[in-house]
A = this chain, B = another copy of it.
Amino acid sequence: MAIRVNKPRSLETTGEIVDLLFELVGRMRAHLERTVERFDLSPPQALALLQLDRPLPMRHLAQHLRCDASNVTGIVDRLEARGLVERRVDRADRRIKNLVLTRPGTVLRARLRRSLLQDAPALTSLSAKDQRALRDLLTRALAAP
């Protein structure tokens, strides 16, 4: 068995990437906060809406948002009160409530997503080619175990 304590990959580069991601995500969060305000949504409400490109049980939404399921209740309550989302009891398992966008919810989600992406900080300054390269790198990074 070879004696190799460190991987050839340098922690130095990893550190630079983490710092860059930290900065990028900071800018994106600020951008999100400015944008959702115009839509009269809280950031959690907006993130929930963005996840609902397909019907999703409450619990799955919680997993996607990385928060406890008890939080989702309140978030969805407000989205439902505004007529953006419906809770539909699952026919196969009646404990489950599937979240489905209403027509207005679908429209609002599309507008929100477009606003967020159209001037996504930093990303818009990359060329189309660079964007594809970035996408492919991130895909490869996340694909591995």
- Chain A positions within 8 Å of B, measured between CB atoms, are 7-11, 13-18, 20-21, 23-30, 66, 113-114, 116-118, 120, 122-128, 130-135, 137-145
CB distance from A110 to the nearest CB of B (A): 11
Give the number of times this chain occurs in the complex, counting copies.
2
Q: Do B141 and A17 touch across chains, with their CB atoms under 8 A apart?
A: no
Interchain CB contact under 8 A, B25 and A131: no
Give the CA-CA distance A116 to B118 in the complex, in Å.
33
21 contacts between A and B (CB under 8 A): A9-B127, A11-B118, A13-B131, A14-B120, A14-B131, A17-B135, A18-B28, A18-B120, A18-B123, A21-B28, A25-B25, A26-B66, A123-B141, A125-B140, A125-B145, A126-B137, A130-B140, A130-B141, A133-B137, A134-B134, A134-B138
